[in-house]
């Protein structure tokens, strides 16, 4: 009954359910086209006569320009010489582990009377042993040693079937009975176990006459055990982390190791650097009485060919000096991880005794190995890292100035104000602080100079970054003196301080800093309304299945399938006005009569251009910049549709009008400008069927 009831309930529910037809996915794509770019210079609006310009009404302006010498920074990127000494004296004799004694204790020494029941099962009751000394199996013969610091590490290997507990361990000089080391705290080594004990050796003097003695008890802990005649108890003595004062020994591998670092400098932080020239030098002086095998390693110098860290191996004879010179151009300096100041080149210098096994090695308190590292005449080829005001001198180069002749004939020449502009083009990936002097010299030997100090923005390896330095005579009277000099030659000399200590970048052999200079005088003129020559961009809307080419050069082609799905059209315009006048940008989109007898015209909203910012003296302080966006409505988008079988040609006409100043005189320079850049953005819907 319940099953029928459930079925009756489900039937009307299923009968009333409906499902929408699945829809194909869709999305929008945006097409961007540059449609206009206008760079209108004042020099294009006036009549030009060599370097003298006629602004009208008898007003003349003077302009002198040229290129300063290009500076290839890598040619002047010289690392200051680095030199540092590292002395390794006897106290630097850091011996990580020196095996001194191997002592073997036979069973009767630690279990008195055991020789009477070898091989028999027997319970060993606690049995004492006192001041016993094992058989010495020495690998080296140390005649005498004076220790500054270090540890005697006693390693016990119990191969006996009984526990051994030491109540006293001591090192005694046999000739005098003097106790050199004494340990009285119980040390228990269980049967078959290995254990160790560390004893302090600081300020100890040890000789070949010193012997180890032990006291304690042995026990099998109530169990029957079998002791064989060849069972033993091993006692090994190692000197660990030794720093020596004196040493006399034979059959001894002596090692002196020194880890140290050399600072590169406060203003340089290297990630990676290669070199065009330079030397790596090592001067090693050995004052020991025996020959030394020297090994020098540095993880920061990588050999170009083998790609392995720097490693130098040589033998320096007793009481002699060795000089090693390597070509820096064969190596790369690299640092991993975070770059920190000061940055240091790490070195590990190891000196090993090169004596034969039978010779006696003697070390005295005043013995040293003197190691001197040098980095000399280093010229960087490629650099990646950080620089902090790294000084690069700029070589002064004299340039001839093309001044117009017979300036006296120009009665209207205005030389009461002047402006200097220097455009710096930087391809270094680091900012630059520039300090220098621009010197001018006339035909008759007179001179004038202008100090220049400016910040230059960081550039890119393959991209110039422009920084403009501008100085007017109202701000610096030296500008006008330089112009009035009417220089025949100019010369710039100074220093570039590269990097700000924060930005990490690269310098390559192709990195440069170049500059274009411009000296000019202004004119005060009244401006009449001026309509500039229109700029026209063509859109060609092709019909379906069109296979032809463009019907007009410089045309943007659109396909019928795309414009039929056109969602929006936006005209984006960037404006940069460095003129002291206002203006209007009119935009018109229209069909050509070639396509239709009744050509359609669409006037877009005009863009009003504001004047550059001017101070009370009429000087331009800042250009006026704006981004304008004009969006067509849905109805106006129909101008792009093409239902014919021939291409449809549309024109986007840009007309710039500069407004009148209504008789008011404004101050203009020949290089003042108005820049206009426009781009069209078309959003097209795409459906996947």
* 3-state SS, residue 348: strand
Q: Using DSSP bridges, classify how beta strands 535-542 and 555-559 pair: parallel, antiparallel or unpaired.
A: parallel
* Cβ-proximal residues to 405 (8 Å cutoff; 6+ apart), any chain: none
Residue with tokens 């070949």: 208
In terms of Cα–Cα distance, which of 316, 274, 263 is closest to 83? 263
477 and 408: one domain? yes
CATH number of the domain enclosing 501: 2.60.120
**Mean pLDDT across the stretch 139-157?**
84
Contact call for residues 180 and 206 (beta carbons, < 8 A): yes
**For the CA atoms of 452, 455, 461, 466, what is the dihedral angle to 10 degrees?**
-80
Q: How many domains does the chain have?
A: 4
What is the domain extent for residue 577? 26-47+527-687
Q: What does the alpha-carbon distance between residue 460 and residue 454 come to, in Å, rounded to a whole number? A: 19
The total number of residues shown for the chain amounts to: 689
Q: Is residue 314 part of a domain?
A: yes
Q: What does the alpha-carbon distance between residue 137 and residue 156 come to, in Å, rounded to a whole number? A: 15
182 and 200: one domain? yes
Q: Is residue 21 part of a domain?
A: no
**Mean pLDDT across the stretch 249-270?**
77
397 and 502: one domain? yes
Q: Is residue 20 part of a domain?
A: no
Between 110-119, 127-136, 379-388, 637-646, the lowest mean confidence (pLDDT) is in 637-646
Contact call for residues 484 and 478 (beta carbons, < 8 A): no
The pLDDT of residue 212: 92
Contact call for residues 31 and 568 (beta carbons, < 8 A): no
Contact call for residues 523 and 59 (beta carbons, < 8 A): yes
Among residues 383, 414, 430, the one where a domain terminates is 383
- Cβ neighbours around 366 below 10 Å, total: 7
Best-predicted range by mean pLDDT (140-149, 217-226, 457-466) = 217-226
Q: Is residue 257 part of a domain?
A: no
pLDDT at 228 exceeding the cut of 90: yes
At 614-629, the pLDDT tens digits run: 877 667 788 999 998 9
Q: What does the alpha-carbon distance between residue 528 and residue 513 come to, in Å, rounded to a whole number? A: 41
At 482, which helix (H) or strand (E)?
Answer: helix 477-484
pLDDT at 36 exceeding the cut of 70: yes
Among residues 476, 500, 524, the one where a domain terminates is 524
Q: Is residue 17 part of a domain?
A: no
120 and 43: one domain? no
How many contiguous H segments (helices) and E segments (strands) does the chain have? 5, 50
Q: What does the alpha-carbon distance between residue 453 and residue 604 come to, in Å, rounded to a whole number? A: 46
417 and 290: one domain? no
* 3-state SS, residue 114: helix
**For the CA atoms of 456, 458, 463, 467, what is the dihedral angle to 10 degrees?**
-20
315 and 458: one domain? no
551: left (phi over 0), alpha (psi -120 to 50) or beta: alpha
185: left (phi over 0), alpha (psi -120 to 50) or beta: beta
At 374-423, the pLDDT tens digits run: 999 888 889 999 988 888 887 777 788 776 554 544 444 556 778 888 99
473 and 584: one domain? no
129 and 244: one domain? yes
| The token pair that represents 225 in the structure block | 């055990």
Between 3-17, 146-160, 485-499, 586-600, the lowest mean confidence (pLDDT) is in 3-17
360 and 395: one domain? no
pLDDT at 93 exceeding the cut of 60: no
3-state helix, strand, coil in the chain (%, to 5): 10, 60, 35
Q: Identify each DSSP E strand in 210-342 by its residue range.
A: 210-219, 224-226, 233-250, 255-265, 268-286, 292-303, 309-316, 320-327, 331-334
Q: Which is higher by pLDDT, 240 or 498?
A: 498
pLDDT at 19 exceeding the cut of 50: no
Contact call for residues 341 and 266 (beta carbons, < 8 A): yes
393 and 533: one domain? no
**For the CA atoms of 498, 499, 501, 505, what is the dihedral angle to 10 degrees?**
-130
Q: Is residue 14 part of a domain?
A: no
| The token pair that represents 75 in the structure block | 């040619």
The pLDDT of residue 688: 46
pLDDT at 71 exceeding the cut of 90: no
Between 176-190, 538-552, 596-610, the lowest mean confidence (pLDDT) is in 596-610
Q: What is the pTM of this model?
A: 0.54
674 and 560: one domain? yes
Q: Identify each DSSP E strand in 442-542 by its residue range.
A: 447-456, 465-472, 489-500, 505-507, 512-520, 523-526, 530-531, 535-542
**Mean pLDDT across the stretch 530-540?**
80
The pLDDT of residue 26: 63
The pLDDT of residue 32: 83
**DSSP code string of 280-295:** EEEEEEE-SSS-EEEE
pLDDT at 4 exceeding the cut of 60: no
Percent of the chain residues past pLDDT 70, beyond the cut: 83
229 and 316: one domain? no
Q: Is residue 479 part of a domain?
A: yes
Q: What does the alpha-carbon distance between residue 7 and residue 15 come to, in Å, rounded to a whole number? A: 12
At 437-474, the pLDDT tens digits run: 989 888 888 899 999 999 999 998 888 999 999 888 88
Contact call for residues 155 and 171 (beta carbons, < 8 A): no
State the average pLDDT for the chain: 82
Q: Is residue 589 part of a domain?
A: yes
Contact call for residues 569 and 640 (beta carbons, < 8 A): yes
At 568-609, the pLDDT tens digits run: 899 899 999 998 889 999 888 888 766 555 667 888 888 999
Among residues 383, 403, 419, the one where a domain terminates is 383
**Mean pLDDT across the stretch 329-358?**
82
């Amino acid at each position: 009954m319940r099953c029928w009831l459930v079925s009756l309930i489900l039937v009307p529910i299923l009968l009333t359910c409906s499902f929408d037809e699945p829809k194909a996915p869709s999305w929008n794509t945006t097409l961007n086209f540059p449609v206009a770019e206008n760079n209108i210079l004042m020099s294009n609006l006036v009549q030009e006569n060599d370097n003298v310009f006629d602004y009208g009404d008898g007003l003349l302006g003077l302009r002198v320009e040229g290129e300063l010498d290009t500076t290839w920074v890598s040619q002047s990127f010289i690392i200051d010489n680095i030199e540092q000494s590292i002395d390794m004296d006897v106290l630097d004799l850091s011996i990580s582990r020196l095996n001194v004694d191997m002592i073997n204790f036979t069973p009767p020494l630690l279990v008195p009377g055991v020789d009477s029941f070898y091989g028999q099962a027997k319970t060993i009751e606690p049995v004492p042993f006192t001041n016993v000394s094992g058989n010495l199996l020495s690998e080296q013969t140390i005649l005498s040693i004076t220790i500054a610091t270090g540890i005697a590490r006693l390693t016990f290997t119990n191969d006996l079937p009984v526990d051994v507990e030491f109540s006293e361990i001591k090192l005694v000089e046999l000739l005098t009975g003097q106790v050199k080391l004494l340990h009285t705290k119980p040390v228990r080594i269980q049967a078959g176990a290995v254990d160790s004990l560390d004893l302090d050796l600081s300020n100890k003097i040890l000789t070949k006459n010193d012997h180890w003695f032990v006291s304690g008890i042995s026990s099998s802990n109530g169990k029957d055990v079998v002791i064989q005649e060849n069972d033993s108890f091993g006692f090994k003595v190692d000197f660990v982390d030794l720093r020596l004062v004196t040493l006399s020994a034979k059959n001894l591998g002596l090692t002196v190791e020194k880890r140290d670092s050399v600072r590169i400098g406060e203003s340089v932080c290297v990630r990676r650097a290669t070199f065009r020239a330079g030397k790596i030098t090592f001067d090693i002086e050995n004052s020991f009485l025996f020959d030394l095998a020297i090994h020098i390693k540095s993880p920061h110098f990588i050999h170009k060919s083998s790609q392995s860290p720097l490693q130098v191996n040589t033998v320096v004879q007793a009481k002699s000096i060795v000089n090693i010179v390597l070509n820096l151009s064969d190596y790369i300096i690299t640092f991993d991880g975070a770059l920190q100041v000061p940055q240091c080149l790490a070195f590990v210098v190891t000196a090993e005794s090169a004596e034969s096994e039978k010779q006696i090695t003697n070390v005295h308190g005043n013995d040293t190995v003197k190691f001197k590292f040098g980095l000399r005449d280093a010229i960087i080829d490629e650099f990646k890292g950080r620089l902090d005001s790294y000084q690069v001198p700029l070589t002064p180069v004299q340039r001839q100035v093309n001044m117009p002749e017979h300036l006296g004939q120009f009665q209207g020449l205005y030389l009461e104000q002047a402006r200097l502009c220097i455009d710096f083009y930087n391809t270094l990936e680091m900012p630059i602080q520039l300090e220098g002097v621009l010197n001018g010299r006339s035909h008759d030997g007179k001179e004038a100079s202008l100090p220049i100090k400016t910040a230059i923005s960081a550039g890119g390896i393959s991209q110039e970054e422009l920084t403009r330095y501008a100085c007017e005579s109202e701000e610096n009277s030296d500008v006008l003196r330089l112009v009035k000099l009417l220089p025949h030659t100019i010369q710039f000399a100074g220093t570039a301080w590269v990097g700000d200590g924060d930005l990490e970048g690269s310098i390559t052999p192709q990195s440069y800093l170049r500059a274009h200079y411009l000296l000019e005088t202004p004119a005060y003129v009244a401006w009449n309304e001026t309509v500039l020559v229109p700029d026209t961009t063509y859109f060609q809307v092709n019909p379906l299945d069109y296979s032809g080419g463009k019907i007009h050069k410089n045309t943007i082609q659109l396909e019928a399938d795309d414009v039929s799905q056109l969602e929006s059209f936006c005209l984006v315009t960037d404006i940069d006005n460095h003129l002291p006048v206002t203006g209007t940008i009119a935009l018109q989109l229209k069909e050509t009569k070639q396509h239709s007898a009744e050509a359609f015209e669409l006037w877009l909203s005009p863009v009003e251009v504001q004047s550059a910012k001017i101070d009370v003296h009429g000087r331009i302080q800042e250009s006026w910049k704006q981004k304008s966006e004009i969006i067509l409505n849905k109805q106006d988008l129909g101008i792009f549709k093409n239902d014919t079988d021939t291409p449809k040609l549309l024109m986007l006409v840009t007309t710039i009008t500069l407004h009148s100043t209504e008789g008011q005189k404004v101050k203009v320079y020949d290089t003042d400008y108005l820049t206009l850049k426009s781009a069209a953005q078309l959003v097209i819907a795409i459906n996947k069927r």
